Amino acid sequence: LRENVEKLRAAGVHFVGPVEGALSSGDTGMGRMADPEEILKFSEKLLEEAGKLKGKKILIAYGRTEEEIDPVRVITNRSSGKMGYYLAERAKAMGAHTILVEGEISYQPPVGDEKHKVRTHAQMREVLIKLAPQADVIIMSAAVSDFRPEIRSEEKIKRGKALQLTLVPTGDILAEIGKNKKKGQVVVGFALESQNLEEVAREKLDRKNLDIIVGNTLDAPGSDFIDGFILDRNGNLTEFKGRHKAEVASALFEKIAEFLGA
């Protein structure tokens, strides 16, 4: 059932409920159909939002980057790119022109009006810095490498002796974008932390000159459901727990529409 629901979500189908309440079995719990009034309100909201971002250019970076150790080995992370998929789908549903910058992903790729495929931190930076000035909204949901090997071996490293790697930090792409943000442009970042999430998110929001940041906790790689919050530069914080990434994407775009005055 969960797999079928996920396929429907990926096809753009929206779900209302289930909710807690009395069940046909006589038990009480999660599994009851949402009230018809709630379903109607949700449907009206979808229709109302359909053209909210018409004419707006939304730049979305998602997926993970890779940094080469040698021609066959890389340093990377376990980001699936799922959040990027749902962000792109939601932006299109609201009528936006979507510009996608896609790193390596482990999920089906979203459809965009424009798409740029990248693999390394350097490639992602080059593309984003070039495209950023034309966008009304920039969403950085990509899991970009924080470090890269100082030296890349031109040949495959042979098995044998212990290997020591010297890693050097990469530049902060989002901070660079925030520093050069145009008037009226909305810049959104993500914070993934194992502890002190809200404190770290607030610091990043301020230091990187962001308008909105999505904070979420460490979950199983590729999970569809996340815990966290959406925080804006005015101090407004909306928490969510066990929310599907599609729902989080929808809530984020509601906030973005507010900032754009849409």
The β-bridge partners of 187 are 138
**Residues marked as catalytic:** 77
